[in-house]
Amino acid sequence: MATSSCDWPSLNALARHRLMLCPVVDDDFGTMTTLDSAAGMAQSAGRRRMSGAVKVMLHSAFAAFLQGSRPRSIEHVLSGVAQLLPLLDVIPNATIFIKDSDARYVLANRTLVQRCGLRQMQSLLGKTSAEVFPAQLGPGYTEQDRRVLQAGVVLEDQLELHLYGSHEPGWCLTHKWPLYNDVGQIIGLAGISVDLQSASDTHPAYQRLAVVDEYIRVHFHRRIRLVELTRIAGISVAQLERYCKRVFQLTPRQMIQKVRLEHAHRLLLHSELPITEVALQCGYTDHSAFTRQFKSSTGFTPRQYRQTSA
């Protein structure tokens, strides 16, 4: 296995780096909005809209591509996508890639190349995620790739840890689709991992959802029902689902999952609690369910993660 050229910090940074979904809002203090700050808010909102639009466009483009006429080989796939690479290269908050049937990169956008500490895409080609990403993440990505390649599994909105531009771990939503040739054989996969952005505080429902987010952070250690969250927000289940996706880019269940896994990271890194106790403190009454969820997010079981980070 090739060694990674990524400048990867200790996973203790996970405990120091607080992954907050939204900023703290204090309505007890008035604020003066200047023209400059208003312009900055407008630019920030514009970037969020652009980011969301790009994500939808890419998702639709890939889906349409995968449902269209099937190519004869992975080379034919690349010939059809190559002209889009300059467009994919200017997207800073998403890693976009295509891999062959052995889970080796055959195409990657600039963001992915840079996050692996490389300068040219050619240095990434022919390698698996396990060969280029840190040991705490790479093998999990490759295992996930093999599920797509061997079983034809389609992954959508998979919440998982990823490598941010700062070389610190952060959350992303990953999508992966198998690529089929003209005789129905899987010849590779296409994927997009979109960084989880900060909450959109310009949305009209933001204040209500900020209360929901805080409620989750206080009560994540026990079962949280959707009816509790809708009562707090004063909206229906359908509205809660829709607004959470718009403001936080996550479903309510994913918000709960994210907070629980963040706490699990801290306990695994900074305590010697048994795994069963970690699971209970993170709101999982079923130890096996906790292990499955944790492995889905990190690629490791809780025990493996603790040992790898020791």
pLDDT score recorded for residue 310: 64
pLDDT tens-digit map of 274-283: 999 999 999 9
In this prediction, residues 184-213 reach a mean pLDDT of 89
Residue 168: is its pLDDT beyond 80? no
In this prediction, residues 97-122 reach a mean pLDDT of 94
Q: With both helix axes pointing from N to C terminus, report the angle between 237-247 and 252-270 in degrees, rounded to the nearest 10.
A: 60
pLDDT score recorded for residue 146: 95
pLDDT score recorded for residue 101: 97
Q: Quick one: pLDDT band at residue 71, thresholds 50, 70, 90?
A: confident
pLDDT score recorded for residue 35: 30
* Lowest-confidence pick of 148-152, 277-281, 299-303: 299-303
pLDDT score recorded for residue 16: 33
Residue in 302, 308, 262, 300 with CA at minimum distance from that of residue 142: 300
- Ordered by start, the domain boundaries in the chain are 41-195, 199-309
pLDDT tens-digit map of 17-44: 333 333 333 332 223 323 333 334 344 4
- The model's pTM: 0.69
Strands of 74-200, DSSP E? 94-100, 105-108, 155-163, 169-180, 186-195
Q: Is 258 exposed, middle or buried (0-12, 13-18, 19+ CB in 10 A)?
A: buried
pLDDT score recorded for residue 23: 32
pLDDT score recorded for residue 305: 83
In this prediction, residues 181-210 reach a mean pLDDT of 89
Spatial separation of the C-alpha atoms in residues 133 and 147, rounded to whole Å: 18
The superfamily CATH assigns to domain 41-195 is PAS domain (3.30.450.20)
- Longest Cα pair distance anywhere in the chain, in angstroms? 65
Q: Give the rounded percent of residues in the chain with a pLDDT score beyond 70.
A: 75
User: Please, which residues have CB within 8 angstroms of residue 179's CB and are 6 or more apart in sequence?
Assistant: 66, 71, 74, 77, 98, 186, 187, 188, 189, 190
The superfamily CATH assigns to domain 199-309 is Homeodomain-like (1.10.10.60)
In this prediction, residues 110-130 reach a mean pLDDT of 93
* Lowest-confidence pick of 2-16, 103-117, 238-252: 2-16
pLDDT score recorded for residue 61: 56
Spatial separation of the C-alpha atoms in residues 55 and 267, rounded to whole Å: 33
